[in-house]
Amino acid sequence: MSGNSRGFMQSEFMGKLMVAMAARSSRNRSLLDRLCRRALNRLTALPPEEDFMRDPLIDNDEGFDPEELDRYQRGE
Amino acid sequence: MREGVTTKRALCASCDIACSVVTEIKNGRVVRVRSSDNPIFRDHICMKGIVAPKGFANPNRILHPLKRVGERGSGKWEQVTWDEAMADIGSRLQAVVDRYGPEAWAVSTSQWNTSTDHGLGRRVMNHVGSPNWISGVALCAGNTAAVNRFTYGWFPFGDFNNTRCIVLMGHNPRRHSWTPIYNYIRSAQQRGAKLIVMDPRRSSSAERADIWLPLKVGSDTAMMFGWLKVIIDEGLYDKEFVAEWTVGFDELRQRVDEYPLERVAELTGCDPEMIASAARLYATHGPTIIPWTPITDMQRNSTSGIRLQSILRAICGYLDVPGGELLQGFNPDIINESEIEMHHVLPEAQKAKQLGSQDHPAFTYRGQSAFREPTRRVYGQEYANLVMGCHMATPSATFQAMAGEGPYPVKAFFFLGNNPLLSYANMPMILKGMMNQELIVAHEQFMTPSAQLADYVLPADSWLERPWLHDMFGWMSTVRFSEKSMDPPGDCRSTFQFWKLLAGALGQSDIVPWDTLEDFYDYRVARTGMSFADLVATTEVHFAKPEFRKYEKTGFATPSGKVELKSSVLEGLGFDPLPYFREDPPRDDAYPLMMFTGVREDGFFQTGHRHIPEMRARHPEPEIYLNEKTARTAGVRDGEWVAVENQLGRIKAKLAIRDAMPDDLVRVPHGWWKPEMPQGHGQLSGAHDYADSQLCRDDDDFLDREQGIPHIKGIPCRVVSLMSPSGDAEIVDASLLEPVE
């Protein structure tokens, strides 16, 4: 791999751009931040039928009822 | 948003991955954990994360300090206050230090709490004068980090987002285990990246791979020699990089020539053409990454295996390029844990006493000292304790010293968020060592088998109950922040409070001068110009400015400044400076099978989570895996209780037939005990029945020479039935075709 080739320079630029967008997305405050988050959302979202991260255990989780946790903690 | 619910941004510490999640709080307690709203962390949550609110609400959680009042391991305790406990612990630890020397104090910590330990444990130990800190990272990532430094001075992290090919060496990330890594790999594959898997098992990753190399267990190092033979002979390496940035290529080539493909095929059990195809794909379809794998960490050839991974990365030109292996360095805006640890205050004479450093120095102070100057030159500071693994004592040597079989006695043993009896090799030796202590202190959430032998068990908080600054173990330059979601129950306290109180009890309060964890974090993030509170409120990830090929400006952090294919540091320590392969020792016919252990099950992390009903329902009993042919030969049947035995010990488990397992290989689950079983010495909540550490040998044939870590990927054993002759369980076919995890 030539470190000075055009393709290599492009890949470095793209790598830096992705980090900059991720930083903006993580901040999510200004208009530019939110635009970056929206762009990353579109770049990374998958149609449900191809989404290997879908999992019923996770997708259907609604958490716990606080009273249920209280009772459990008391050993009831 | 549900009524009455507030949210916090948190980092899950249910395992060591630290997924970015959101906690939902109602009536002052966390009622739900879900994945982050940030698309870069989408779906980074697993079953262990969502069940955390219930796991920490378990009625058997330790809520108050407990002091032993009967014989060690008798199970008799009295409740005391933190002040009472720490005053007594401080005076008894000081007595041990005064009588035997500071090196007589050893500490063991684990990922759950080391990543929230902030380096304070090492800081206190360094001021007291003890070098004897051990951790499970000795055979899981920490040692990899230390050994990577021998070749190019840092531990790289693969650029999954831009890579074109991924190599998994026995590693099998899944939806509920190493979840983000699974996501990265699947995403890369969807983009068109290739996947090469080396694994004796037909794992779920192997099923998705472009090339699956079903190698013999423990032969990874031989396989990489085969790859290098192909890559060098066919000129597929980056000649420009090798010429300009490496030393020792000719010597490496001579060593590689000792491994023609026919020999490699014999050692690995794989077809030579398939080996060659994988090597060509690795070298020509790059940039390629070899993500960290725990498998290479746990073999008698671990040092050589990790070195060969490093060498492959280097000579193919994949170091610090987009899509390759990034050498990120520290984040310059954050005071990193290596700085907090203050290794410079530990006198050289005390460093020299670090247990195991004479025979197996690779990740000890002695083994890493040659990197101090190069690391200062490249990364701006002398000590880089990457993944906490670069200045450790050797665990086996530490337990021998605890048992009175070392160069000097260890008489005080502390462990935090760690279950040492089940977490290292040779449980009988660990048990002997613990029973020989004058002071044992545990900082824990639950009464683990190890905690049952302590003098004090101090109640630990959880990741829901404290803030957290996560600097990615010094491995990567990204820093993330976690909000406290709820108050800890009872008297549960953080590791920060533990170390602060201990420093005070030793009369050295100035070692930990910050009043609160938040004050401490403000100190660590001051260079950002923001407070911790501001950062945690506004920033999920604090990135360092990305740069590539930084070595062109600084050189590599090795003594030569180049990639050392032939390691000057290993040579200086008296070891072979080139990688090599040690074959298995002669077999004992009484143990015709091979076992591997160290495997995580989806519902558990290491030795934890067995107390959570939802998780135990998924894994009610420890299971070993055999294929049907091997089971028939051994005379055992699916679903029956069997014993796995070797020269060191014996465990019980249920047998599950998995045709994805190769012949004569036994998969043994890691870290099993049952919280519901009787506690105390002689019982240990089932650890004597199920703990795989009873089978993990640490005699010379089963230790890596340079590191002294155990070989747990290929231990001779046998499997025998525990059922009566009339107990005729049927072989069930239901899961025969499933891949193995």
Establish if B533 belongs to a structural domain: yes
Residues B108 and B167 in one domain: no
Residues B228 and B177 in one domain: yes
Give me the residue from B31, B187, B321 closest to A69, CB to CB: B31
Q: Provide the shortest C-alpha distance from residue A38 to chain B (in Å).
A: 8
Establish if A32 belongs to a structural domain: yes
Establish if A67 belongs to a structural domain: yes
Establish if A51 belongs to a structural domain: yes
Establish if B144 belongs to a structural domain: no
Residue ending a domain, choose from B38, B56, B74: B56
Establish if B147 belongs to a structural domain: no
Q: Provide the shortest C-alpha distance from residue A27 to chain B (in Å).
A: 5
Residues B609 and B694 in one domain: yes
Q: Where are the alpha helices (DSSP H) in B635-682?
A: none
Residues B395 and B492 in one domain: yes
Residues B29 and B107 in one domain: no
| Residue from A2, A16, A51, A61 to probe the interface with B (highest B Cβ count within 10 Å) | A61
Establish if B318 belongs to a structural domain: yes
The verdict on a CB contact (< 8 Å) between B39 and A44 is: yes
What range defines the domain where residue B203 resides?
Answer: 157-326+548-572
| Residue from A10, A11, A50 to probe the interface with B (highest B Cβ count within 10 Å) | A11
List residues bridging with B469 in a β-sheet: B481
Residues B207 and B294 in one domain: yes
Sequential DSSP letters for B274-313:
HHHHHHHHHHHS-SEE----HHHHTSTTHHHHHHHHHHHH
Question: Any CB–CB contact under 8 A between A61 and chain B?
Answer: yes
Residues B111 and B199 in one domain: no
CA distance B210 to B168: 12
The verdict on a CB contact (< 8 Å) between A63 and B31 is: yes
The answer to whether residues B59 and B65 touch, using CB atoms and an 8 Å cutoff, is no
Each as own residue / partner, the long-range contacts of residues A8-12 (CB below 8 Å, 24 or more positions apart, any chain) are: A8/B321, A11/B162, A11/B321, A11/B322, A11/B323, A12/B321, A12/B322, A12/B548
Q: Provide the shortest C-alpha distance from residue B143 to chain A (in Å).
A: 29
Distance in angstroms between the alpha carbons of the first and the last residue of chain B: 36
Give me the residue from A11, A58, A66 closest to B45, CB to CB: A58
Distance in angstroms between the alpha carbons of the first and the last residue of chain A: 65
Q: How many domains would you assign to chain A?
A: 1
Give me the residue from A1, A29, A64 closest to B53, CB to CB: A64
B chain contacts of residue A36, beta-carbon cutoff 8 Å:
none
Cis amide leading into B725 (omega within 30):
no
The verdict on a CB contact (< 8 Å) between B548 and A15 is: yes
Question: Any CB–CB contact under 8 A between A6 and chain B?
Answer: no
CA-based nearest residue to B541, from B246, B267, B331: B331
The verdict on a CB contact (< 8 Å) between B159 and A15 is: yes
Residues B177 and B211 in one domain: yes
Q: How many domains would you assign to chain B?
A: 4
Report residues of chain B scoring pLDDT below 70: 1, 111-114, 724-741
H/E run at residue B96: helix B82-100
Establish if B152 belongs to a structural domain: no
Q: Where are the alpha helices (DSSP H) in B506-637?
A: 517-525, 532-538, 551-554, 568-572, 613-618, 628-634
B chain contacts of residue A65, beta-carbon cutoff 8 Å:
31
| Residue from A9, A16, A69, A70 to probe the interface with B (highest B Cβ count within 10 Å) | A69
Q: What is the CATH number of the domain that holds B31?
A: 2.20.25.90
Establish if A63 belongs to a structural domain: yes
Establish if B331 belongs to a structural domain: no
The verdict on a CB contact (< 8 Å) between B24 and A63 is: yes
CA distance B145 to B292: 9
A chain contacts of residue B317, beta-carbon cutoff 8 Å:
1
CA-based nearest residue to B677, from B611, B619, B622, B612: B611
Give the model confidence (pLDDT) of A2-40 as tens digits: 556 788 889 999 989 999 999 999 988 899 999 999 999
Residues B313 and B192 in one domain: yes
A chain contacts of residue B536, beta-carbon cutoff 8 Å:
none
What range defines the domain where residue A25 resides?
Answer: 6-73
Establish if A1 belongs to a structural domain: no
| Residue from A33, A43, A64 to probe the interface with B (highest B Cβ count within 10 Å) | A64
The answer to whether residues B152 and B550 touch, using CB atoms and an 8 Å cutoff, is no
Q: Provide the shortest C-alpha distance from residue A75 to chain B (in Å).
A: 5
The verdict on a CB contact (< 8 Å) between B321 and A1 is: yes
CA-nearest residue to A36 within chain B is B39
A chain contacts of residue B10, beta-carbon cutoff 8 Å:
none
Establish if B143 belongs to a structural domain: no
pLDDT at B113: 63
pLDDT at B111: 65
CA-nearest residue to B1 within chain A is A62
CA-nearest residue to B41 within chain A is A26
CA distance B552 to B148: 19
Establish if B711 belongs to a structural domain: yes
CA-nearest residue to A54 within chain B is B43
A chain contacts of residue B175, beta-carbon cutoff 8 Å:
52-53, 55
Q: What is the CATH number of the domain that holds B279?
A: 3.40.228.10
- To the query of whether residue B98 is one of the catalytic residues in this protein, the response is no
Q: What is the CATH number of the domain that holds B613?
A: 2.40.40.20
Q: What is the CATH number of the domain that holds B430?
A: 3.40.50.740
Question: Any CB–CB contact under 8 A between A57 and chain B?
Answer: yes
